[in-house]
Chain A
């Protein structure tokens, strides 16, 4: 079983995320970390590989060269190797730019299963898999909270606005998993040490079929509309303060 997991290195939320007003792009100058949402497909891929007793988990990403450090966490968790697509013209990539770079990198692999997390932690996008699957002309299942792989097919149980449903597809396929699917493991010390010697490949634009230009652009930034006064309380007396607030607003 060969599994590719598409991941994203994002600015560390703990350090604060901001959009650079000059470029209209997310400021990626600070520390980059692996998106939390992407730990779930990595975990799922490791479990599938280990249950099958054979195979390989390769992590695929598009990002700046520094993203390689963040991606090493996937290797520390147990992934076998990583592929990072990185090149200057990819800065400011939009959905189709990103999908085409990832599809180009995935085209060099022969993965039975391509996994995604449920969304990007910084851009709030939740649809990249659909664009990648389209470019690869493969079936896909999104929002999967339970995944079963058997005899050349994959079945996902997922939640949509309609409730829970099950979708089945032959392999090779693309699957996006929700963060409800598993509890990702923490890298062990041995894993962290071992990750340093695992292969981390870098691909330029030419190696993934070029750069598909962005078709969307950020035009301007503005502060969000005010929602009125917000109050914060903590410590003892909180229940009484809540009641006072509700009385003041005539809600009880």
Chain B
């Protein structure tokens, strides 16, 4: 299902990935990335076509659409899934819960069944084929049009790309302020890596959005990810859990990031990071 304005051309591109049919709702009122008009379109389509399973890739927009849809249709929604399988005709989703300390098998007790998948849960696979493109009527509810986008997002472009780097050094709230990023930059420089940041510090204006890793930022999978002063909330984890090796430096021994770091270093980053930077620098030049 493709919703938007001027999006018809995208529809066919789903074919090679296995879609048999693509429904297109192309309407000026769907131009802004707002959820409520999309709930109207999807609810009508699901009712008309009798779809039993509706899957979304997790994003701010998709979560809002899926939850609105669940309320509209009186449907069950499971979120944050990393896998789904049908055994004995029962659909079962896998969800890591409580900071990924336990995996929960979740199910649905009614139809349609709605699910949100965690970012990066699946690798897209091209398998050939082409999709039949079908146009959908767009009929919108009054309350769905009240919220309006008054200032669209502008993508910032600056600094080296964190998505392509083999080494990423990321800074979080533990740095104490924007000046703390000087240490992170120095360590990244010594390791030949790029600098990343958490949502908390980007929202606080310490570092640009283009460097943000996590649910609403970029997803990275470098060979080495060094997390400096990052507690490691789930929104951050989903953006970097594919990293080869994770090293975390944090003064709080209970920080969630230590649950998934390969090397956890408990201590004062203001002492450890400069010393580490100088050791790495000496090693490289020596």
Given A216-B77, A230-B261, check contact A163 B154 (CB 8 Å).
yes
Asked whether any CB of chain A lies closer than 8 Å to the CB of B76, the reply is yes
Kindly list chain B residues whose C-beta atoms are within 8 Å of the C-beta of A227.
260, 262
Give chain B interface residues in 90-114, CB to chain A under 8 Å.
92, 96-98, 100-110
Q: Which residue on B lies nearest to A225, using beta carbons?
A: B103
Question: Which one of A130, A214, A235 lies within 8 Å of B67 (CB-CB)?
Answer: A130
Asked whether any CB of chain B lies closer than 8 Å to the CB of A138, the reply is yes
Q: Would A163 and B280 count as touching, CB distance under 8 A?
A: no
Given A169-B146, A170-B146, check contact A242 B276 (CB 8 Å).
yes
Kindly list chain A residues whose C-beta atoms are within 8 Å of the C-beta of B134.
none
Given A159-B209, A169-B147, A232-B258, check contact A239 B92 (CB 8 Å).
no
Residue-wise interface mask of A (160-177) relative to B, using a CB-CB cutoff of 8 A (1 in contact, 0 not): 111111111110010000
Q: Which residue on A lies nearest to B253, using beta carbons?
A: A234
Q: Which residue on A lies nearest to B215, using beta carbons?
A: A161
Asked whether any CB of chain B lies closer than 8 Å to the CB of A35, the reply is no
- Min distance, Cβ B131 to any Cβ of chain A, angstroms: 24
Query: Chain B interface: which size bin?
Result: 35 or more
Residue-wise interface mask of B (252-263) relative to A, using a CB-CB cutoff of 8 A (1 in contact, 0 not): 010000101111
Report the bound CA distance from A165 to B276 in whole Å: 38
Give chain B interface residues in 118-175, CB to chain A under 8 Å.
141, 143-144, 146-156, 167
Question: Which one of A100, A160, A180, A219 lies within 8 Å of B33 (CB-CB)?
Answer: A160
Report the bound CA distance from A122 to B104 in whole Å: 14
Kindly list chain A residues whose C-beta atoms are within 8 Å of the C-beta of B26.
none
Q: Would B71 and A217 count as touching, CB distance under 8 A?
A: no
Give chain B interface residues in 15-63, CB to chain A under 8 Å.
33-36, 39, 59-61, 63
Q: Would A215 and B264 count as touching, CB distance under 8 A?
A: no
Kindly list chain A residues whose C-beta atoms are within 8 Å of the C-beta of B104.
19, 24, 218, 220-221
Asked whether any CB of chain B lies closer than 8 Å to the CB of A128, the reply is yes
Q: Would A232 and B64 count as touching, CB distance under 8 A?
A: no
Q: Which residue on A lies nearest to B119, using beta carbons?
A: A161
Asked whether any CB of chain A lies closer than 8 Å to the CB of B79, the reply is yes
Asked whether any CB of chain B lies closer than 8 Å to the CB of A125, the reply is yes
Question: Which one of A158, A160, A239 lies within 8 Å of B279 (CB-CB)?
Answer: A239
Q: Would B203 and A159 count as touching, CB distance under 8 A?
A: yes
Give chain A interface residues in 126-175, CB to chain B under 8 Å.
126-135, 137-143, 145, 155, 157-170, 173
- Min distance, Cβ A240 to any Cβ of chain B, angstroms: 7
Q: Would B61 and A160 count as touching, CB distance under 8 A?
A: yes
Given A94-B76, A122-B98, check contact A238 B71 (CB 8 Å).
no
Asked whether any CB of chain A lies closer than 8 Å to the CB of B266, the reply is yes
- Min distance, Cβ B219 to any Cβ of chain A, angstroms: 10
- Min distance, Cβ B107 to any Cβ of chain A, angstroms: 5
Asked whether any CB of chain B lies closer than 8 Å to the CB of A52, the reply is no
- Min distance, Cβ B114 to any Cβ of chain A, angstroms: 9
Asked whether any CB of chain A lies closer than 8 Å to the CB of B68, the reply is yes
Q: Which residue on B lies nearest to A157, using beta carbons?
A: B151
Q: Would A163 and B147 count as touching, CB distance under 8 A?
A: no
Q: Which residue on B lies nearest to A135, using beta carbons?
A: B71
- Min distance, Cβ A227 to any Cβ of chain B, angstroms: 6
Report the bound CA distance from A128 to B152 in whole Å: 24
Kindly list chain A residues whose C-beta atoms are within 8 Å of the C-beta of B34.
167
Report the bound CA distance from A72 to B63 in whole Å: 30
Kindly list chain B residues whose C-beta atoms are within 8 Å of the C-beta of A145.
203
Asked whether any CB of chain B lies closer than 8 Å to the CB of A212, the reply is yes
Q: Would A232 and B266 count as touching, CB distance under 8 A?
A: yes
Question: Which one of A134, A161, A219, A252 lies within 8 Å of B71 (CB-CB)?
Answer: A134
Which of A55-63, A80-88, A198-206, A243-251 has 4 or more CB atoms under 8 Å from chain B?
A243-251
Q: Would B216 and A143 count as touching, CB distance under 8 A?
A: yes
Given A127-B66, A219-B105, A243-B283, check contact A224 B96 (CB 8 Å).
yes
Kindly list chain A residues whose C-beta atoms are within 8 Å of the C-beta of B151.
157, 165-166
Asked whether any CB of chain B lies closer than 8 Å to the CB of A108, the reply is no
Asked whether any CB of chain B lies closer than 8 Å to the CB of A179, the reply is yes
Report the bound CA distance from A135 to B234 in whole Å: 28
Question: Which of B92, B116, B151, B284 is packed against the most chain A CB atoms within 10 Å?
Answer: B151
Q: Would A160 and B60 count as touching, CB distance under 8 A?
A: yes
Asked whether any CB of chain A lies closer than 8 Å to the CB of B247, the reply is yes
Q: Would B280 and A243 count as touching, CB distance under 8 A?
A: yes
Q: Which residue on A lies nearest to B268, using beta carbons?
A: A238
Report the bound CA distance from A124 to B102 in whole Å: 13
- Between A and B, 11 residue pairs with Cβ closer than 8 Å are A96-B71, A127-B64, A130-B71, A169-B148, A214-B76, A219-B92, A223-B102, A234-B265, A242-B272, A242-B276, A251-B224
A residues engaging B (CB < 8 A)? 17-19, 24, 94-96, 99-100, 122-135, 137-143, 145, 155, 157-170, 173, 178-180, 212-225, 227-235, 238-243, 245-246, 249, 251-252
Interface pairs A-B: 4 shortest CB-CB? A215-B76, A180-B203, A127-B67, A163-B153
